Amino acid sequence: MYNIQLMNKIAKVGTGVFDKTKFTVSENTENPTAMMVRSASLHETEFPASLLAIARAGAGVNNIPLEKCAEKGIVVFNTPGANANGVKELAIAALLLASRDIVGGIEWVKANAADENLAKSVEKNKAQFAGHEVFGKTLGVIGLGAIGGLVANAAHSLGMRVVGCDPYLTVGAAWSLSRAVHKAESYDDIYAEADYITLHVPSTPSTKGMINKQTLEKMKDGVRIINLARADLVNAADIKEALESGKVAAYITDFPIPETVGLKNTVNIPHLGASTEESEDNCAIMAAQSLVEYITTGNIHNSVNYPAVSIPHTGISRICLCHRNVSGMLSKITAILSAEGINIENLSNSAKGDFAYTIIESGVKVSDAAVSVLNAIPDMIRVRVID
Protein backbone atom coordinates (compact mmCIF):
# COMPACT_ATOMS: atom_id res chain seq x y z
CA MET A 1 0.00 0.00 0.00
CA TYR A 2 1.06 3.56 -0.72
CA ASN A 3 0.45 6.11 2.05
CA ILE A 4 -0.77 9.60 1.15
CA GLN A 5 -0.45 12.18 3.93
CA LEU A 6 -2.77 15.21 3.83
CA MET A 7 -1.08 18.35 5.14
CA ASN A 8 -4.29 20.39 4.71
CA LYS A 9 -7.94 19.61 4.19
CA ILE A 10 -8.23 18.38 0.59
CA ALA A 11 -11.50 18.22 -1.36
CA LYS A 12 -13.04 14.74 -1.30
CA VAL A 13 -13.22 14.59 -5.08
CA GLY A 14 -9.42 14.76 -5.00
CA THR A 15 -8.80 12.15 -2.33
CA GLY A 16 -11.38 10.00 -4.10
CA VAL A 17 -8.97 9.67 -7.03
CA PHE A 18 -6.85 7.24 -5.01
CA ASP A 19 -7.73 3.56 -5.44
CA LYS A 20 -8.44 2.32 -1.90
CA THR A 21 -6.96 -1.08 -2.74
CA LYS A 22 -3.58 0.55 -3.42
CA PHE A 23 -3.55 3.78 -1.39
CA THR A 24 -4.33 4.87 2.15
CA VAL A 25 -5.14 8.55 2.66
CA SER A 26 -4.70 10.09 6.10
CA GLU A 27 -3.64 13.24 7.92
CA ASN A 28 -1.24 11.18 10.02
CA THR A 29 1.07 8.48 8.73
CA GLU A 30 4.57 7.53 9.82
CA ASN A 31 5.90 6.53 6.40
CA PRO A 32 4.20 8.64 3.75
CA THR A 33 4.80 7.82 0.11
CA ALA A 34 3.53 11.27 -0.85
CA MET A 35 2.06 14.42 0.63
CA MET A 36 -0.80 16.61 -0.56
CA VAL A 37 -0.71 20.23 0.57
CA ARG A 38 -2.48 23.52 -0.01
CA SER A 39 -1.27 26.37 2.22
CA ALA A 40 0.65 24.60 5.01
CA SER A 41 4.33 25.52 5.14
CA LEU A 42 6.72 22.60 4.70
CA HIS A 43 9.95 24.57 5.06
CA GLU A 44 10.61 23.23 8.55
CA THR A 45 9.35 19.71 7.83
CA GLU A 46 11.72 16.78 8.12
CA PHE A 47 10.96 14.57 5.14
CA PRO A 48 11.20 10.82 5.70
CA ALA A 49 13.14 8.53 3.37
CA SER A 50 9.86 6.98 2.24
CA LEU A 51 8.64 10.24 0.68
CA LEU A 52 8.64 10.17 -3.13
CA ALA A 53 6.55 13.22 -3.99
CA ILE A 54 4.62 16.28 -2.82
CA ALA A 55 1.62 17.65 -4.69
CA ARG A 56 0.49 21.22 -4.12
CA ALA A 57 -3.23 21.68 -4.83
CA GLY A 58 -2.66 25.06 -6.43
CA ALA A 59 -0.16 26.85 -8.63
CA GLY A 60 2.11 28.63 -6.14
CA VAL A 61 4.78 26.59 -4.36
CA ASN A 62 6.32 29.20 -2.05
CA ASN A 63 5.40 27.01 0.94
CA ILE A 64 7.55 24.09 -0.27
CA PRO A 65 11.40 23.93 -0.12
CA LEU A 66 11.94 22.98 -3.76
CA GLU A 67 15.73 22.71 -3.70
CA LYS A 68 15.73 20.62 -0.53
CA CYS A 69 13.16 18.30 -2.08
CA ALA A 70 15.08 17.97 -5.35
CA GLU A 71 18.24 17.06 -3.48
CA LYS A 72 16.34 14.23 -1.75
CA GLY A 73 14.73 12.97 -4.95
CA ILE A 74 11.30 14.23 -3.88
CA VAL A 75 9.36 15.35 -6.94
CA VAL A 76 7.15 18.39 -6.31
CA PHE A 77 4.01 18.86 -8.39
CA ASN A 78 1.64 21.80 -8.74
CA THR A 79 -1.64 22.25 -10.60
CA PRO A 80 -1.19 24.96 -13.25
CA GLY A 81 -4.45 26.10 -14.77
CA ALA A 82 -6.71 24.14 -12.43
CA ASN A 83 -7.85 27.30 -10.62
CA ALA A 84 -7.45 29.62 -13.60
CA ASN A 85 -11.14 30.28 -14.18
CA GLY A 86 -11.76 31.16 -10.54
CA VAL A 87 -8.91 33.69 -10.56
CA LYS A 88 -10.04 35.05 -13.94
CA GLU A 89 -13.52 35.76 -12.57
CA LEU A 90 -12.06 37.57 -9.55
CA ALA A 91 -9.84 39.59 -11.91
CA ILE A 92 -12.92 40.77 -13.79
CA ALA A 93 -14.52 41.74 -10.48
CA ALA A 94 -11.29 43.56 -9.59
CA LEU A 95 -11.46 45.52 -12.83
CA LEU A 96 -14.89 46.78 -11.81
CA LEU A 97 -13.80 47.46 -8.22
CA ALA A 98 -10.91 49.51 -9.60
CA SER A 99 -13.26 51.47 -11.86
CA ARG A 100 -16.10 52.29 -9.52
CA ASP A 101 -16.07 52.89 -5.77
CA ILE A 102 -18.42 50.00 -5.08
CA VAL A 103 -16.79 49.16 -1.75
CA GLY A 104 -16.93 52.78 -0.59
CA GLY A 105 -20.58 53.01 -1.56
CA ILE A 106 -21.51 49.85 0.31
CA GLU A 107 -19.67 51.02 3.42
CA TRP A 108 -21.48 54.38 3.23
CA VAL A 109 -24.85 52.62 3.15
CA LYS A 110 -23.89 50.50 6.18
CA ALA A 111 -22.84 53.61 8.08
CA ASN A 112 -26.15 55.31 7.30
CA ALA A 113 -28.43 52.33 7.79
CA ALA A 114 -30.37 54.09 10.60
CA ASP A 115 -31.21 57.10 8.43
CA GLU A 116 -35.01 57.26 8.13
CA ASN A 117 -34.60 59.16 4.87
CA LEU A 118 -32.00 56.77 3.48
CA ALA A 119 -33.49 56.70 -0.02
CA LYS A 120 -33.23 60.50 -0.32
CA SER A 121 -29.75 60.50 1.23
CA VAL A 122 -28.62 57.93 -1.30
CA GLU A 123 -29.66 60.12 -4.22
CA LYS A 124 -27.95 63.11 -2.62
CA ASN A 125 -24.66 61.39 -1.83
CA LYS A 126 -24.16 58.82 -4.60
CA ALA A 127 -22.18 61.23 -6.77
CA GLN A 128 -19.16 60.85 -4.49
CA PHE A 129 -18.93 57.20 -5.51
CA ALA A 130 -19.18 57.74 -9.26
CA GLY A 131 -16.57 55.98 -11.36
CA HIS A 132 -15.62 54.96 -14.88
CA GLU A 133 -16.58 52.26 -17.36
CA VAL A 134 -14.02 49.74 -18.58
CA PHE A 135 -15.44 49.73 -22.10
CA GLY A 136 -12.98 51.27 -24.54
CA LYS A 137 -10.16 51.46 -22.02
CA THR A 138 -6.77 49.76 -22.46
CA LEU A 139 -5.87 46.84 -20.21
CA GLY A 140 -2.26 45.77 -19.94
CA VAL A 141 -1.82 42.10 -19.00
CA ILE A 142 1.58 41.14 -17.63
CA GLY A 143 1.86 37.36 -17.92
CA LEU A 144 -0.25 35.47 -20.45
CA GLY A 145 -0.24 31.99 -18.97
CA ALA A 146 -3.28 29.99 -17.89
CA ILE A 147 -4.80 32.86 -15.89
CA GLY A 148 -3.51 35.90 -17.77
CA GLY A 149 -4.70 34.51 -21.08
CA LEU A 150 -8.23 33.99 -19.78
CA VAL A 151 -8.27 37.50 -18.30
CA ALA A 152 -7.08 38.98 -21.60
CA ASN A 153 -9.79 37.20 -23.58
CA ALA A 154 -12.53 38.10 -21.08
CA ALA A 155 -11.48 41.77 -21.00
CA HIS A 156 -11.63 41.90 -24.79
CA SER A 157 -15.18 40.54 -24.59
CA LEU A 158 -16.02 43.43 -22.25
CA GLY A 159 -14.99 45.86 -24.97
CA MET A 160 -11.53 46.70 -23.68
CA ARG A 161 -8.45 47.09 -25.82
CA VAL A 162 -6.02 44.48 -24.48
CA VAL A 163 -2.24 44.60 -24.66
CA GLY A 164 -0.27 41.67 -23.28
CA CYS A 165 3.36 40.84 -22.62
CA ASP A 166 4.93 37.53 -21.63
CA PRO A 167 8.58 36.79 -22.48
CA TYR A 168 7.98 33.12 -21.66
CA LEU A 169 4.73 32.62 -23.58
CA THR A 170 4.27 28.98 -24.57
CA VAL A 171 2.90 27.84 -27.90
CA GLY A 172 -0.14 26.34 -26.17
CA ALA A 173 -0.89 29.58 -24.34
CA ALA A 174 -0.46 31.57 -27.56
CA TRP A 175 -3.02 29.39 -29.35
CA SER A 176 -5.54 30.08 -26.57
CA LEU A 177 -5.27 33.86 -26.89
CA SER A 178 -7.78 35.88 -28.85
CA ARG A 179 -6.28 37.35 -32.01
CA ALA A 180 -7.56 40.70 -30.77
CA VAL A 181 -5.00 40.74 -27.95
CA HIS A 182 -2.13 43.03 -28.98
CA LYS A 183 1.41 41.92 -28.30
CA ALA A 184 3.65 44.34 -26.38
CA GLU A 185 7.37 44.02 -26.97
CA SER A 186 8.20 44.85 -23.37
CA TYR A 187 6.64 45.69 -20.03
CA ASP A 188 7.58 49.31 -20.70
CA ASP A 189 5.13 49.34 -23.62
CA ILE A 190 2.36 48.25 -21.27
CA TYR A 191 3.33 50.84 -18.68
CA ALA A 192 3.10 53.57 -21.32
CA GLU A 193 -0.21 52.50 -22.91
CA ALA A 194 -2.41 50.96 -20.26
CA ASP A 195 -5.24 52.55 -18.31
CA TYR A 196 -5.40 49.36 -16.24
CA ILE A 197 -2.58 46.89 -15.50
CA THR A 198 -3.14 43.38 -14.16
CA LEU A 199 -0.32 41.13 -12.95
CA HIS A 200 -0.26 37.39 -13.62
CA VAL A 201 3.35 36.31 -13.12
CA PRO A 202 4.99 34.20 -10.40
CA SER A 203 7.18 35.70 -7.71
CA THR A 204 10.77 35.21 -8.84
CA PRO A 205 13.99 37.19 -8.32
CA SER A 206 13.28 39.00 -11.60
CA THR A 207 9.64 39.89 -10.81
CA LYS A 208 9.79 40.77 -7.11
CA GLY A 209 9.19 44.50 -6.74
CA MET A 210 8.61 44.90 -10.49
CA ILE A 211 6.01 47.57 -9.72
CA ASN A 212 8.15 50.22 -8.06
CA LYS A 213 8.91 53.93 -8.13
CA GLN A 214 10.79 53.68 -11.46
CA THR A 215 8.16 51.62 -13.28
CA LEU A 216 5.29 53.63 -11.81
CA GLU A 217 6.82 56.78 -13.28
CA LYS A 218 6.52 55.20 -16.75
CA MET A 219 2.75 54.70 -16.34
CA LYS A 220 -0.13 56.99 -17.19
CA ASP A 221 -1.38 59.32 -14.50
CA GLY A 222 -4.43 57.72 -12.89
CA VAL A 223 -3.49 54.16 -13.82
CA ARG A 224 -5.37 51.39 -12.01
CA ILE A 225 -3.37 48.34 -10.89
CA ILE A 226 -4.66 44.84 -10.11
CA ASN A 227 -2.45 42.33 -8.32
CA LEU A 228 -3.97 38.88 -7.82
CA ALA A 229 -0.61 37.15 -8.23
CA ARG A 230 1.73 37.76 -5.27
CA ALA A 231 2.13 40.58 -2.75
CA ASP A 232 5.85 41.09 -3.32
CA LEU A 233 5.44 41.93 -7.01
CA VAL A 234 4.52 45.44 -5.85
CA ASN A 235 6.77 47.60 -3.68
CA ALA A 236 4.49 48.60 -0.77
CA ALA A 237 6.15 51.95 0.00
CA ASP A 238 6.16 52.99 -3.65
CA ILE A 239 2.52 52.07 -4.31
CA LYS A 240 1.51 53.99 -1.18
CA GLU A 241 3.28 57.10 -2.43
CA ALA A 242 1.72 56.72 -5.88
CA LEU A 243 -1.77 56.33 -4.43
CA GLU A 244 -1.37 59.39 -2.22
CA SER A 245 -0.15 61.51 -5.12
CA GLY A 246 -2.88 60.32 -7.48
CA LYS A 247 -0.42 58.74 -9.91
CA VAL A 248 -2.26 55.47 -9.22
CA ALA A 249 -6.03 55.92 -9.05
CA ALA A 250 -6.77 52.50 -7.57
CA TYR A 251 -4.95 49.40 -6.34
CA ILE A 252 -6.77 46.08 -5.96
CA THR A 253 -4.82 43.25 -4.36
CA ASP A 254 -5.64 39.69 -3.33
CA PHE A 255 -2.67 39.64 -0.95
CA PRO A 256 -3.27 42.02 1.98
CA ILE A 257 -0.23 43.06 3.97
CA PRO A 258 -0.11 45.56 6.85
CA GLU A 259 1.37 48.21 4.56
CA THR A 260 -1.56 48.15 2.12
CA VAL A 261 -4.48 47.82 4.54
CA GLY A 262 -6.16 51.19 4.88
CA LEU A 263 -4.36 52.79 1.94
CA LYS A 264 -6.27 55.38 -0.05
CA ASN A 265 -8.21 53.93 -3.01
CA THR A 266 -7.08 50.38 -2.21
CA VAL A 267 -9.20 47.26 -1.94
CA ASN A 268 -7.59 44.40 -0.02
CA ILE A 269 -9.22 41.05 -0.86
CA PRO A 270 -8.38 38.18 1.54
CA HIS A 271 -6.72 35.86 -1.01
CA LEU A 272 -9.95 34.68 -2.64
CA GLY A 273 -8.60 34.10 -6.15
CA ALA A 274 -8.90 30.32 -6.10
CA SER A 275 -11.44 30.16 -3.26
CA THR A 276 -14.27 28.60 -5.20
CA GLU A 277 -15.58 25.09 -4.77
CA GLU A 278 -14.84 24.41 -8.41
CA SER A 279 -11.23 25.58 -8.20
CA GLU A 280 -10.54 23.62 -5.04
CA ASP A 281 -12.04 20.51 -6.61
CA ASN A 282 -10.07 20.93 -9.84
CA CYS A 283 -6.79 21.47 -7.98
CA ALA A 284 -7.36 18.49 -5.70
CA ILE A 285 -8.16 16.18 -8.61
CA MET A 286 -5.20 17.33 -10.68
CA ALA A 287 -2.80 17.01 -7.73
CA ALA A 288 -4.01 13.51 -6.91
CA GLN A 289 -3.79 12.41 -10.53
CA SER A 290 -0.17 13.61 -10.73
CA LEU A 291 0.71 11.60 -7.62
CA VAL A 292 -1.00 8.44 -8.85
CA GLU A 293 0.74 8.69 -12.21
CA TYR A 294 4.16 9.24 -10.67
CA ILE A 295 3.90 6.66 -7.92
CA THR A 296 2.55 3.89 -10.15
CA THR A 297 4.38 4.58 -13.44
CA GLY A 298 7.19 7.03 -12.65
CA ASN A 299 5.93 9.46 -15.30
CA ILE A 300 6.29 13.14 -14.39
CA HIS A 301 3.87 15.87 -15.46
CA ASN A 302 3.60 19.37 -13.94
CA SER A 303 6.62 19.15 -11.66
CA VAL A 304 8.30 22.34 -10.53
CA ASN A 305 11.65 20.87 -9.47
CA TYR A 306 12.15 17.97 -11.90
CA PRO A 307 11.62 17.83 -15.69
CA ALA A 308 8.60 16.37 -17.43
CA VAL A 309 9.42 12.82 -18.57
CA SER A 310 6.85 10.31 -19.71
CA ILE A 311 6.89 7.08 -21.74
CA PRO A 312 4.51 4.11 -21.95
CA HIS A 313 5.17 1.33 -19.42
CA THR A 314 5.53 -1.64 -21.75
CA GLY A 315 8.52 -3.52 -20.31
CA ILE A 316 8.79 -5.98 -17.44
CA SER A 317 10.59 -3.52 -15.18
CA ARG A 318 10.90 0.24 -15.22
CA ILE A 319 13.85 2.04 -13.62
CA CYS A 320 13.21 5.63 -12.48
CA LEU A 321 16.29 7.67 -11.63
CA CYS A 322 16.53 11.11 -10.04
CA HIS A 323 20.04 12.50 -10.44
CA ARG A 324 22.03 15.65 -10.86
CA ASN A 325 22.31 17.18 -14.29
CA VAL A 326 25.99 16.42 -14.87
CA SER A 327 27.95 15.16 -17.84
CA GLY A 328 28.33 11.44 -18.36
CA MET A 329 25.43 10.21 -16.20
CA LEU A 330 23.61 8.38 -18.98
CA SER A 331 26.73 6.58 -20.14
CA LYS A 332 27.43 5.44 -16.56
CA ILE A 333 23.86 4.23 -16.12
CA THR A 334 23.74 2.32 -19.39
CA ALA A 335 27.18 0.80 -18.80
CA ILE A 336 26.04 -0.60 -15.45
CA LEU A 337 22.85 -2.02 -16.92
CA SER A 338 24.81 -3.63 -19.72
CA ALA A 339 27.23 -5.20 -17.24
CA GLU A 340 24.28 -6.53 -15.22
CA GLY A 341 22.73 -8.06 -18.35
CA ILE A 342 19.74 -5.70 -18.28
CA ASN A 343 18.42 -4.94 -21.76
CA ILE A 344 17.17 -1.38 -22.41
CA GLU A 345 13.94 -1.41 -24.45
CA ASN A 346 13.14 2.28 -24.12
CA LEU A 347 14.74 5.30 -22.46
CA SER A 348 13.76 8.90 -21.86
CA ASN A 349 15.79 11.60 -20.12
CA SER A 350 15.42 15.30 -19.49
CA ALA A 351 16.87 17.97 -17.22
CA LYS A 352 15.57 20.99 -15.35
CA GLY A 353 18.26 23.24 -13.97
CA ASP A 354 20.64 21.29 -11.75
CA PHE A 355 18.50 18.15 -11.68
CA ALA A 356 17.59 15.47 -14.20
CA TYR A 357 15.29 12.50 -14.47
CA THR A 358 15.63 9.30 -16.46
CA ILE A 359 13.15 6.50 -17.15
CA ILE A 360 14.41 3.18 -18.53
CA GLU A 361 12.19 0.33 -19.70
CA SER A 362 13.72 -3.11 -19.35
CA GLY A 363 12.69 -6.47 -20.74
CA VAL A 364 13.96 -8.31 -17.65
CA LYS A 365 13.55 -8.01 -13.90
CA VAL A 366 15.97 -5.60 -12.27
CA SER A 367 17.80 -7.08 -9.31
CA ASP A 368 18.44 -5.40 -5.96
CA ALA A 369 22.14 -5.75 -6.68
CA ALA A 370 21.79 -3.69 -9.87
CA VAL A 371 19.86 -1.03 -7.97
CA SER A 372 22.64 -0.85 -5.38
CA VAL A 373 25.27 -0.32 -8.09
CA LEU A 374 23.16 2.40 -9.71
CA ASN A 375 22.66 4.12 -6.36
CA ALA A 376 26.44 4.18 -5.87
CA ILE A 377 27.00 6.35 -8.95
CA PRO A 378 28.27 9.81 -7.88
CA ASP A 379 25.49 12.42 -8.26
CA MET A 380 22.77 9.76 -8.26
CA ILE A 381 19.97 10.85 -5.91
CA ARG A 382 17.32 8.14 -6.02
CA VAL A 383 16.73 4.90 -7.92
CA ARG A 384 13.30 3.31 -7.96
CA VAL A 385 12.14 0.18 -9.80
CA ILE A 386 8.51 -0.30 -10.85
CA ASP A 387 7.53 -3.80 -11.99
Mean pLDDT of the chain: 95
- Domain 84-268 classification at class level: alpha beta
What was the pLDDT predicted at 30? 86
What was the pLDDT predicted at 170? 83
Whether residue 336 is predicted with pLDDT greater than 90 in this model: the reply is yes
Give residue 76's pLDDT band: very low, low, confident or very high (50, 70, 90): very high
Give residue 174's pLDDT band: very low, low, confident or very high (50, 70, 90): confident
- Domain 1-83+274-306 classification at class level: alpha beta
| Mean pLDDT on 355-376 | 95
pLDDT tens digits, residue range 191-231?
999 999 999 998 889 999 999 999 999 999 999 999 999 99
CA atoms of 199 and 139, how far apart (whole Å): 11
What was the pLDDT predicted at 59? 83
Fold of 308-387: Alpha-Beta Plaits (3.30.70)
Percentage of the chain surpassing pLDDT 70?
Answer: 100
DSSP bridge partners of 198: 141, 226
| Mean pLDDT on 240-247 | 97
What was the pLDDT predicted at 176? 87
Q: What ranges in the chain are assigned the alpha helix state H?
A: 12-15, 66-71, 84-99, 102-111, 118-125, 146-157, 171-176, 187-193, 213-217, 236-245, 277-297, 329-339, 368-375
C-alpha to C-alpha distances, 119 to 103, 104, 112, 114, 115, nearest whole angstrom: 18, 17, 10, 11, 9
What residue spans define the domains of the chain?
Answer: 1-83+274-306, 84-268, 308-387
Q: What is the pTM of this model?
A: 0.80
Give residue 315's pLDDT band: very low, low, confident or very high (50, 70, 90): confident
C-alpha to C-alpha distances, 368 to 115, 335, 357, 371, 372, nearest whole angstrom: 81, 17, 20, 5, 6
What was the pLDDT predicted at 111? 95
What was the pLDDT predicted at 175? 86
pLDDT tens digits, residue range 260-297?
999 999 999 999 998 899 999 999 999 999 999 999 99
Give residue 320's pLDDT band: very low, low, confident or very high (50, 70, 90): very high
What was the pLDDT predicted at 168? 86
Whether residue 136 is predicted with pLDDT greater than 90 in this model: the reply is yes
Q: Tell me whether domains 84-268 and 308-387 share a fold.
A: no
The answer to whether 166 touches 137, Cβ cutoff 8 Å, is no
What was the pLDDT predicted at 265? 95
